[in-house]
Amino acid sequence: MYDLIVIGAGPGGYLAAERAGGAGLKTMVIEKKNIGGVCLNEGCVPSKTILNSSKIYEYAKNGNKYGVTCENVIYDQKKVIKRKNIVVKKLVSGIQAVLAKNKVEVVSGKGVIVGKTSEGFEISVNGEQHTCKNLIIATGSEALIPPIPGVKEAFEKSIIVTNREILDLTTIPERLTVIGGGVIGLEMASYFATVGSKVTVIEMMDRIGGYTDREIGTILKGNLEKKGITFLLESKVTKVMDSRVYYEIEGKETSIDSDKILLSIGRRANISNIGLEKLSIAVEKGAIKVDETCKTNIPSVYAIGDINGTSMLAHTAYREAEVAVNNILGNRDIMRYSAIPSVIYTNPEVASVGETEETAKNKGISFEIKKISMNYSGRYMAENEGGDGIAKVLIDKKYKKIIGVQIIGSYASEIIYGAGIMVETEMLVKDLQEIVFPHPTVSEIIREAIFS
């Protein structure tokens, strides 16, 4: 008998197991593939590792702007991938050590819900059944493969790749077509364009970056076009024939040839074949339905991370893990999604938290915008030759509180957590005026935007 069984050891799953084990609960976590899930093995960490290598390469090639000249700069993709694998391995080992320290039993295999008895929930793995008082489902998500003619066949031939396979390419494709201009698509487009690929991005929407602030998305698009990326917006892929992608734009069908095709049009929750029907767990729009405590419609059963479809971000899963475990321990806690930061790790970076102009207008919020060039930051100017980044702060007119911040520029990913605190705590402008920012830092741009 376990106090808690967690199915899935991605960011949400392993943190939930760690917190529960640390609190004294007898805990088991089941993972069918790799500890750390998609984020650590096939997403967040490996992509940021290779993106950093490309950034160093880009700086080396363009160092003459800063008085540094490098000759014969060579990019070795095989070494980059080798280093990426080492980084991932070290981090996985670290998580395994933390789980062991908190006395969490880790089982490799596919966890499936069998049913419920008077003793608790029955979970099967590797032919054995285990019983638990509480259950957390954290099986994550997978890349969405659309029913476009030819996609399945091209995928089987390894012409089409997803976020998983593209992070293991040891050679740089001469021509890369990216289907989907969302976060993953943009990051990989930025990476491969920087290291030598001719990149084309095909996107159905009239903008890139999903629902990123439109003005900032436009600035990002301009920066990526300078890297040589071609964007085909308001374009619909109609079929794939081997390495050729056919798409419709302005009512006409045309095509483009590629060496590799990255399919990046979204992700779907892994709800199939895990036994949800055995407990009659409610599913809505392809994801497990949960309340503000991350609890499903079944008492003592929780769903965290991508599986609940609320916010498919690793850091959201971390917080959901804490909320679920706190409630299992009898300490009421709830999820709040209004101040969850989002980041696009291109170069330049884009980071956002809270409301954008569009979302605020749609909600009928009366607000004012404080917008400023990143060049008002001394450090930004010192480190970015010709940078065109901006920072935007949205302020509620009625209460004079900060409701949103968007930044495009260096260190945006590291600055946004501070803006997140402002939004989460509903910080008033007058209170921010008393906060001292270190100088010179790029983070000062938030203060400059509001008070300059």
Q: Which residues contact 419 (CB under 8 A, 6 or more apart)?
A: 341, 351, 353, 354, 402, 405, 407, 446
d(CA 388, CA 206): 22
Total-model pTM: 0.95
d(CA 179, CA 167): 16
**How many C-beta neighbours within 10 Å does residue 295 have?**
18
Closest among 188, 185, 186, 183 to 172, alpha carbons compared: 188
DSSP strand pairing (367-373 vs 350-354):
unpaired
Strand-pair partners of 231 = 201
Q: Would the pLDDT of 410 be above 90?
A: yes
Assign 376 a pLDDT band (cuts: 50, 70, 90).
very high
Alpha helices per DSSP H over 265-390: 276-279, 314-328, 357-362, 378-383
Q: Which residues contact 42 (CB under 8 A, 6 or more apart)?
A: 163, 164, 167
pLDDT for 311 = 95
Tell me the pLDDT of the chain averaged across its residues: 96
d(CA 228, CA 234): 19
Which one from 73, 439, 440, 451 is the annotated catalytic residue?
439
Task: Give the rounded percent of residues in the chain with a pLDDT score beyond 90.
Answer: 98
Q: Would the pLDDT of 452 be above 90?
A: no
**How many C-beta neighbours within 10 Å does residue 46 have?**
23
- The 10s digit of each residue's pLDDT in 232-261 is 999 999 999 989 999 999 999 999 999 999
439 is catalytic: yes
Q: Would the pLDDT of 92 be above 90?
A: yes
Give me the amino acid identity at 366. Answer: S
- The 10s digit of each residue's pLDDT in 124-176 is 999 999 999 999 999 999 999 999 999 999 999 999 999 999 999 999 999 99
Alpha helices per DSSP H over 281-411: 314-328, 357-362, 378-383
**Cβ(354)–Cβ(46) below 8 Å:** no
- The 10s digit of each residue's pLDDT in 273-305 is 999 999 999 999 999 999 999 999 999 999 999
Token pair, residue 101, equals: 């320290």
Q: Would the pLDDT of 408 be above 90?
A: yes
Integer CA distances (angstroms), 141 to 127, 194, 243, 339, 347, in order: 24, 29, 27, 23, 27
pLDDT for 417 = 97
Token pair, residue 386, equals: 């010709």
DSSP strand pairing (402-408 vs 390-396):
antiparallel
Q: Would the pLDDT of 41 be above 90?
A: yes
Assign 420 a pLDDT band (cuts: 50, 70, 90).
very high
**Cβ(304)–Cβ(289) below 8 Å:** no
pLDDT for 222 = 97
Q: Would the pLDDT of 52 be above 90?
A: yes
Closest among 165, 148, 205 to 182, alpha carbons compared: 205
Q: Would the pLDDT of 356 be above 90?
A: yes
- Exposure string of 230-253, with b = 16+ CB inside 10 Å and e = fewer, is ebbeebebeebeebbbbbeeeeee
d(CA 341, CA 346): 16
Assign 190 a pLDDT band (cuts: 50, 70, 90).
very high
